[in-house]
């Protein structure tokens, strides 16, 4: 088994376990209950950004590891843009949540 295939298998095996761990954490902390205020909305945005990281980062690692075959080039660009957008929204929500909890 080549190193690239092993890396892909490891990524595919670890992502469902990590997603389940995030789900359990979100359910335990009450993120999945109906939003009561703005703080909970920001927490959900942060959670979505974490899920996007779990989904798109292994795709990008695998793609850069294989040199992005022609058929994957557009998929890689779309994955990178989706990761950037959800990451930016997650960071913006984290900053807003921080400002709400720590007023000056």
Rounded average pLDDT per 10-residue block, the chain, 104 residues: 85 88 84 80 86 85 78 81 92 93 87
DSSP 29-46: HTTTSPP-SHHHHHHHHH
The pTM (predicted TM-score) of the whole model is 0.61
Number of domains in the chain: 1
Rounded-to-integer distance, Cα 21 and Cα 15, Å: 10
Domain of residue 40, residue span: 3-101
């Amino acid at each position: 088994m080549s190193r690239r295939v092993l890396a892909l298998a490891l990524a595919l095996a670890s992502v469902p376990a990590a997603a389940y761990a995030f789900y359990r954490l979100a359910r335990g902390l009450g993120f999945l209950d109906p939003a009561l205020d703005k703080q909970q909305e920001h927490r959900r945005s942060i959670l979505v950004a974490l899920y996007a990281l779990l989904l798109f980062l292994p795709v990008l690692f695998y793609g850069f590891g294989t040199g992005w075959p022609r058929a994957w080039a557009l998929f890689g660009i779309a994955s990178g843009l989706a990761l950037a957008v959800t990451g930016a929204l997650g960071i913006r929500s984290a900053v807003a949540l921080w400002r709400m909890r720590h007023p000056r």
